[in-house]
Amino acid sequence: MRLDELFGDKGAIEHFRNVVLDYLTPLAAANIEKVDMSDLEEVMHLDGSGIIIDRTLMMKVLDPNELKMVKKIEGDTVYISFPVDEISAKTEEDEEKDKQSIKKKAGDEAMKSVKK
């Protein structure tokens, strides 16, 4: 049986992407910007799949177009992207609009209960 038959089309690559994401997520939360390729290779090796981890497999797994947590790869350094930065927090104006909306809804509900 061939390996691609065992894991399906991209099964092994997707599996290793999940392993890498499990490793990178806490690093991104701690604002760590980069990690060495050898660290990721070790994490993939310790997964116990029995698959030989080589540079070609690692580049497929860490493809920045497929794995959005990887910003770029330069040499043996993998730069982590911070998706949290892309999420915008509410501005003071947004919070004020929310408060006004809540007050209006509360007032409407109070008026409905009084009319009953």
Q: Answer for the pair 60, 7: CB distance below 8 angstroms, yes or no.
A: no
Q: How many residues does the chain have?
A: 116
pLDDT of 13 higher than 80: yes
User: What pTM did the predictor assign?
Assistant: 0.60
Order the strands of the 34-36 sheet from edge to edge.
34-36, 77-80, 70-74
Average pLDDT (55-59) is 89
Please name which of 82, 54, 36, 34 lies closest in space to residue 16, comparing C-alpha atoms: 54
Condensed to tens digits (0 to 9), the pLDDT of residues 93-107 reads 878 888 888 888 888
Domains in the chain, CATH or no CATH each:
3-84 (1.10.10)
Q: Which residue has the tokens 């604002």?
A: 31
